[in-house]
Amino acid sequence: MDINLIKSQFPIFTKKIKGKPLVYLDSSNSSQKPTSVLNSLDYFYRNEFSNIGRSIHSLAVNATNKYEETRTSIKNFINANSKDEIVFTKNATESINLVASTFGQENIKKGDEILITELEHHSNYVPWHYLRETKGAIIKFAPINDDGDIIISKLKELITSKTKIIAVTHLSNVTGTIVPIKEIVEIARKKNIPVLVDGCQSAPHIKIDVKDLDCDFYAISAHKVYGPTGVGILYGKKKWLEKLPPYIGGGGMINEVNKDKITYASVPEKYEAGTMPTAEVIAFNESIKFMESIGIQNIIKHEKELTNYALEKLKKINSVKIIGNPKNKAGVISFVIKGIHPHDISTIVDEEGVAIRAGHHCCQILHNRLNLSATARASIGVYNTKEDIDILCKAIENCRKVFELK
């Protein structure tokens, strides 16, 4: 894998931040975009633009075909059974809301339980909280240990006859924990409980095989997978997507409309109401191709090496503490420095062109659990290099200097 060749595909890396080359370590927040994705957006709007599915002129047919090609690519990318199991949404957040809302309508009554974990992003908590507010559901949190691993035995104990769904992240956006989804699904299967997986962080970094995981739902955001903003994916087992009620109503999701009766389109169109982000869905195909051209195994290897390199270097810096030490860790490294608040760290390293994130990263439950109000987070993408890590570490040394730490 030629890292320079990969980096050269991302035009943003020719730009300077405060006069310095950009060291982008905020890919968990959102990834940068390769030229092929940018070109696809531009090409489609300039040469091929049309709405999909409605008209039968040449442009519309072409746009519809390309839109569907992305669906097929995603199906292969996550190894779904059928392209009908892939629904386009706005982002992973919308995907999770779709499930919470439609599943909740029919399957959640007062006193029913929803099991999530202390690792969850607000996107995989707030939608379920709505069911607590509107239906009187109970939300239970499977605890983590201090390493940032979910305590599976405790998760098991929290399952009762009232547990209606389990929603869990595949990869923590704070500790980098890779969650043993297969194990959790196996536990859930025995009790016939469906499992939703928040795959927002996993999609760019590990191999996803929904058939192997046997999960019922899987949510992804394109913008974290080197794709455009405005597109998300909901994978759902066909039996679920067919059974659950529609979510957003409007054009494109109907079959027949009469004054007294409406029938809905079959899946996945049933869940794609209104004009979709056509150009973005089409461009998303290029990000999948980009990932596949490198090969997910190569990506995993590169990012693992870089993560280990970063962890080792960071641990050597006085007063840096890495948050979490999970069994299986991806390139998401949250840390604190004794005596310097994460926001001050972020501002100071930004002067060196280093982009990291500071705050609670939409995981207040997790931060409370770890007794932290905020952390700094460096997250790795396929384009990062050892040099990026070196510059980060130097910038952190500079923080210590500014704050006159010994």
Partner 1 sequence: MDLKELYQDIILEHGKSPKNFGKCEKYTHEAKGHNPLCGDQVHVYLKLNNEKNVDNVTFEGTGCAISIASTSIMTELVKGKSLETAKKIVIDFLNMIKNTQEIKSNDLDEDQKIKIMSLSGVKQYPMRVKCATLAWHTLTSAINGKKEEVNTEVID
Ligand X SMILES: Cc1ncc(COP(=O)(O)O)c(C=O)c1O
**Given the rule CB under 8 A, which residues bind partner 1?**
339-344, 347-348, 351, 358-360, 364, 367, 373-374, 402-404
Give Dmax (Cα) for the chain. 76
Q: Quick one: 348 or 392, whose CB is closer to partner 1?
A: 348
Nearest approach, Cβ of 31 to partner 1 (angstroms)?
A: 21
Candidate list 32, 70, 93, 384; residue touching ligand X; CB under 6 A: 93
Which entry of ligand X, partner 1, none binds 173, CB below 5 to 8 A by partner kind? ligand X
> Hey, what long-range contacts does 37-43 have (CB within 8 A, 24 or more apart)?
37/226, 37/227, 37/228, 37/283, 37/284, 37/286, 37/287, 37/290, 38/11, 38/283, 39/286, 40/279, 40/282, 40/283, 40/285, 40/286, 41/228, 41/279, 41/280, 41/283
Nearest approach, Cβ of 274 to ligand X (angstroms)?
A: 18
Which entry of partner 1, ligand X, none binds 184, CB below 5 to 8 A by partner kind? none
Q: Does 175 bind ligand X (CB under 6 A)?
A: no
The answer to whether 113 and 144 are in contact (CB under 8 A) is no
Q: Quick one: 76 or 347, whose CB is closer to partner 1?
A: 347
Alpha helices in 317-377 (DSSP H): 342-350, 364-369
Q: Does 97 bind ligand X (CB under 6 A)?
A: no
Which entry of ligand X, partner 1, none binds 200, CB below 5 to 8 A by partner kind? ligand X
Q: Does 121 bind ligand X (CB under 6 A)?
A: yes
Which entry of partner 1, ligand X, none binds 238, CB below 5 to 8 A by partner kind? none
Q: Does 379 bind ligand X (CB under 6 A)?
A: no
Q: Which residues contact 19 (CB under 8 A, 6 or more apart)?
A: 353
Residue type, 49: F
How many Cα atoms occupy the beta-carbon half-sphere of 180 within 13 Å? 16
Which entry of partner 1, ligand X, none binds 203, CB below 5 to 8 A by partner kind? none
Nearest approach, Cβ of 365 to ligand X (angstroms)?
A: 12
Q: Does 123 bind ligand X (CB under 6 A)?
A: yes
Q: Quick one: 60 or 402, whose CB is closer to partner 1?
A: 402
Q: Which residues contact 273 (CB under 8 A, 6 or more apart)?
A: 246, 247, 248, 249, 250, 251, 252, 253
Residues with a known catalytic role: 362
Residues lying near ligand X in the complex (CB under 6 A): 91-93, 121, 123-124, 169, 173, 198, 200-201, 221, 223, 362
